[in-house]
Structure 1
Amino acid sequence: MNPVAVHIGPLAIYWYGIIMTAAFIIGAALAYRLASESRIDPDHVLNLLIYIIPAAIIGARLYYVLFRWEDYSYNLLEIFAVRHGGLAIHGGLLGGALAGLLYVRKHKLNFWQMGDIFAPCVVLGQAIGRWGNFINQEAFGGPVTREFIGRFPAFMQKQMFIDGQYHHPAFLYESLWNLLVFIFLMIYRKRADFHGQILLAYMALYSAGRFFIEGLRTDSLMLGPLRAAQVVSVIFIVAAIGLYVSRKQDKHSIRQDEHTK
């Protein structure tokens, strides 16, 4: 599949960029709606995005480049060629979270409440964005038989035929997992009883799926003998569980104090 969607004169518009832009726009629109439902000024969402989007892109690219430095050390200009892919979601999450934290502190907002608003939007954006990897033939898994890949649509079979072999459409597995996480979070948010519950559920669920799907991939970023995404996923899961328990206990402590009074 041609990664270029259209040429406008000398300018090439890439499918990867179109898909990532669509993911950002859809996620932003949903965040705007959820903020209104949560009685938070939705303008904060738009202002936050001015901070978060560039920070997430820079974080995602730096994370990827650092783990693939040997591919960029002799051609530094290639670092800026994001149209070819090479954005690592964990770097994007860290960059976006840091920018968001700076904004909410500056404007004295509740970080956990804002995180609950953005978490479903982020995972929906991830579900969409994985199709950019499909176009660029990234995030694929190990070799599979023709019989196995035959269960998938013809256009997917063709795109997963790489270097003379069919491969697991790992991008699809993660896209579908992210979509399931999104649906769960949208239902669960109606039952959440403390700020941060949705954000922490996202961290744990996304990371659990990513851990197993990453094991199928052949293009993983490596941290010594370990897959970096799996290491970070374990850290995210442990942190999410620890913070969930802590915030749950804090909520009960506050309620007990109120009853005592």
Structure 2
Amino acid sequence: MHQVLLYIGDFPLRSFGVMLSLGILAGLMISLWVAQRQGFYYEEVMDLAFYAIIGGLIGARVWEVMFSWDYYSQRLMEIPAIWHGGISVQGAILGGLLAVVWYCRKYRIAVWAMMDTLAPGVLVGQAIGRIGCFLNGCCYGLPNEHLGFTYPPGTDAYLAFGAQPLFPAVLFEASWDLIELAVLMFLYKRKPFNGFIALGYFILYSAGRFTLEFWRGDSLRTFMNFKAAQVSSVITILAALALMFYLYRQKRPLIEDKRSKRVNFKS
């Protein structure tokens, strides 16, 4: 477990930044693969990627800073330093989602169909990014002697709990992301309407996040002793279920793009 993998001269190559970059690249490759297999949106995914990545990074950092303002208000120069860690997956999802909706509206692309195409790549990116969180020693769990890891001095986890073994919540979240990916890819060819895969992603991810938050040791608490991430997860699940019901009732065609009517992956 190393925050810094190596030094290039005086420049530290941080594990979090490396895994974040690998996650973005791998996620893009998966979304491009999905677009190629289904027969549409390959070029659009390439064009959209820049805006979605920037929106996701901004959203991730703003969310983290907003909920940790007591810390960042005293360290304003740390706010843009995302390579040190301290980004929120839920903020990244929101920022990336806003960028996707903006792009699709601007270029008249079916929003829900595009979101279905991107969802598998997002999960791969999240899973790899969470490994970066583990290596960085952030997003740590509660003390656990049986399934715990001891974090080294200098990490956020060590500052909070010392040398106690802590539950590796982010590794379990990464595993859940891959399980969710397998489920959604199985359902992809069977989706009854555009948006089914994307909304399924929001529901499954939020359910896993809500559960794992019981073992997180760094989360903010809100009313009734629930954590902020749990509250936002419940809201996300309810909103996604409502949208899923609405889209099912609408029975929209599986593809609204005039250039292609194919929805199933090529054999």
| Fold shared per TM-score above 0.5 | yes
Equivalent in the alignment of 1:212: 211
Alignment of 1:83-232 (within 5 A): 83-145=83-145, 148-149=146-147, 156=149, 163-223=162-222, 225-232=225-232
SS in 1 for 2:13: strand
SS in 1 for 2:231: helix
SS in 1 for 2:129: helix
Contact 2:4 2:13 in 1 (8 A): yes
Amino acid at match of 2:237: I
SS in 2 for 1:149: coil
In the aligned structure 2, how far is the partner of 1:115 from the partner of 1:125?
A: 15
Residue 221 of structure 1 deviates from its aligned partner by 3.2
Contact 1:64 1:221 in 2 (8 A): no
RMSD: 2.0
1:67-89 alpha-carbon deviations (Å, 9 max, x no partner) = 11111112211101112210001
Between Structure 1 and Structure 2, which shows a larger proportion of strand residues? 1
Contact 1:174 1:210 in 2 (8 A): yes
Amino acid at match of 1:204: I
Residue 40 of structure 1 deviates from its aligned partner by 1.8
In the aligned structure 1, how far is the partner of 2:104 from the partner of 2:118?
A: 13
Q: Which moved more, 1:125-134 or 1:220-229?
A: 220-229
Identity %: 38
- Give the TM-score, by structure 1 length: 0.89
Q: Aligned pairs, how many?
A: 247
- Structure with more relative contact order (C-alpha pairs < 8 Å, separation 6 or more): 2
In the aligned structure 1, how far is the partner of 2:180 from the partner of 2:89?
A: 16
Between Structure 1 and Structure 2, which shows a larger proportion of helix residues? 1
Contact 1:149 1:157 in 2 (8 A): no
Residue 226 of structure 1 deviates from its aligned partner by 3.5
Contact 2:150 2:163 in 1 (8 A): no
Contact 2:167 2:215 in 1 (8 A): yes
Residue 215 of structure 1 deviates from its aligned partner by 1.3
Q: Which moved more, 1:114-123 or 1:35-44?
A: 35-44
C-alpha distance 107-22 of structure 1, shift in aligned 2 (>3 A): same
In the aligned structure 2, how far is the partner of 1:6 from the partner of 1:143?
A: 29
Equivalent in the alignment of 1:257: none
Residue 157 of structure 1 deviates from its aligned partner by 5.3
- 1:61 counterpart = 2:61: yes
In the aligned structure 2, how far is the partner of 1:123 from the partner of 1:163?
A: 32
Q: Which runs of 4+ in 1 moved over 4 A?
A: 156-162
SS in 2 for 1:6: strand
- Give the TM-score, by structure 2 length: 0.87
1:10-41 alpha-carbon deviations (Å, 9 max, x no partner) = 22111111101111111101111111223224
Equivalent in the alignment of 1:42: 42
In the aligned structure 2, how far is the partner of 1:230 from the partner of 1:74?
A: 27
